[in-house]
Amino acid sequence: MPGINAGMLTLQDLERITDLVRKHEIPMVKVTGAQRLYFLGLSPEKRTEVMQELELPDTMPHTRNRTHYVQACPGKSWCKYGTLDTQHMARAITEMELDGPLPYKVKVGISGCRMCCCESWMRDVGLAAEKNGWRFTFGGNAAGRPRIGDLVADGLSDNEALALIKKTLNFYIKTAKFKTRSARFMERIGIDALKKGIGLS
Ligand code: SF4
C-alpha cells in the first residue's frame, strides 16, 4: 500500500499509477481511508514484480518511531473553507522523529477547518484549524471502541502545534505500555495527567 502524499496527486503521479496498473495488470486499486493506494488481487509473483518496480524492500522496515499514517484534507491552498496549511503540517508530522518506538500505531488526521473532513476528533493525533490557530486533540479512535480525542490545546501556531505533538508522543512512548492505543492510554491516565506530563499545567 504505497503512501501517496496525503492523497494529493499530480498528473505525473496519476500517469505513473496508470502505467503501473496497465503494465502489471493490477485488477483493482482502492484508495484507502488512510489516503494510500491498495493494489488488490495480485498473485504473489505479481506482488513481487510491483514491489521491485516501486523499489520497496521485501519486508517493510519497522518505523514505529514515526506515526503510522498522516491523513490531511486539501486545506487552505485548495479548499475555500480552509484557513490553515494542512499539507505542510502533514509533511512535518510524517517526518517527525521521536525518542523511540511508539507503543502502538498512531494515526493522524489534519483538517483545515472546523468541518473536520479528516475526522481529527477520531484520530490518535487530531489537528483542526480554528480562527485562532490549530486545535490539538489526542486519544481519539474510530475502531471497535470509538472515542473522541481529548482537547490538549488550541490557538496554536504551526510550530507550537508541532512541538506539542512531539512532546505528547514522546510522553506516550515513555509512559504507555506496549500495544496500548492512545485512546485506552488516555482513558487510564486522563487529560490532566497528560497536560502535567508535557508541561502544560
Ligand atoms: S476540513 Fe474544511 S478545509 Fe478541509 S476539506 Fe473539509 S471543508 Fe475543506
In angstroms, the CA 174 to CA 167 distance is 11
Residues of the chain with CATH 3.30.413.10: 69-197
Give the model's confidence band at 60: pLDDT under 50 very low, under 70 low, under 90 confident, else very high.
Answer: low
Distance 62 CA to ligand 1 centre (A): 32
pLDDT at 1 over 70: no
Instruction: Name residues whose C-beta falls within 8 Å of residue 165's C-beta, 6 or more positions apart in sequence.
Output: 93, 96, 125, 127, 136
In angstroms, the CA 141 to CA 108 distance is 10
Distance 115 CA to ligand 1 centre (A): 6
pLDDT one-digit tens code per residue, 120-171:
999 999 999 999 999 999 999 998 999 999 999 999 999 999 999 999 999 9
C-alpha cell at 21: 496498473
Write down the pLDDT at residue 185.
Answer: 98
pLDDT at 62 over 60: no
Write down the pLDDT at residue 61.
Answer: 57
Q: Per-residue pLDDT averaged across 100-124, rounded?
A: 95
| Cβ count within 10 A of residue 114 | 13
Helix axes 44-53, 11-24, angle to 10 degrees: 150
**Nearest-CA residue for atom 6 of ligand 1:** 117
Distance 134 CA to ligand 1 centre (A): 14
The residue to mutate among 71, 78, 81, 114, having the most atoms of ligand 1 within 8 angstroms of its beta carbon, is 81
Residues with beta carbon inside 6 Å of ligand 1?
73-75, 79, 81-82, 111-113, 115-117
Decide yes or no: CATH 3.30.450.40 for domain 69-197: no
Q: What is the DSSP string of 114-132?
A: TT-TT-GGGSSEEEEEETT
Q: Per-residue pLDDT averaged across 80-107, rounded?
A: 94
Helix axes 158-175, 86-94, angle to 10 degrees: 30
Q: Per-residue pLDDT averaged across 57-70, rounded?
A: 71
pLDDT one-digit tens code per residue, 2-55:
667 788 889 999 999 999 999 999 999 998 888 888 899 999 999 999 989 888
Q: Where are the beta strands (DSSP E) in 41-82?
A: 69-72
Would you call 4 exposed, middle or buried from its count of C-beta atoms within 10 A (0-12, 13-18, 19+)? Answer: middle
Contact 136, 154 (CB under 8 A): yes
Write out the H or E segment, with its range, that includes residue 110: strand 107-111
Ligand 1 atom at minimum distance from 75 CA: 3
The residue to mutate among 8, 35, 73, having the most atoms of ligand 1 within 8 angstroms of its beta carbon, is 73
Give the model's confidence band at 57: pLDDT under 50 very low, under 70 low, under 90 confident, else very high.
Answer: confident
Give how far Cα 67 sits from Cα of 88, 113, 124, 199, 200, Å: 16, 22, 10, 22, 23
C-alpha cell at 114: 472546523
pTM, whole model, 2 decimals? 0.91
Distance 125 CA to ligand 1 centre (A): 17
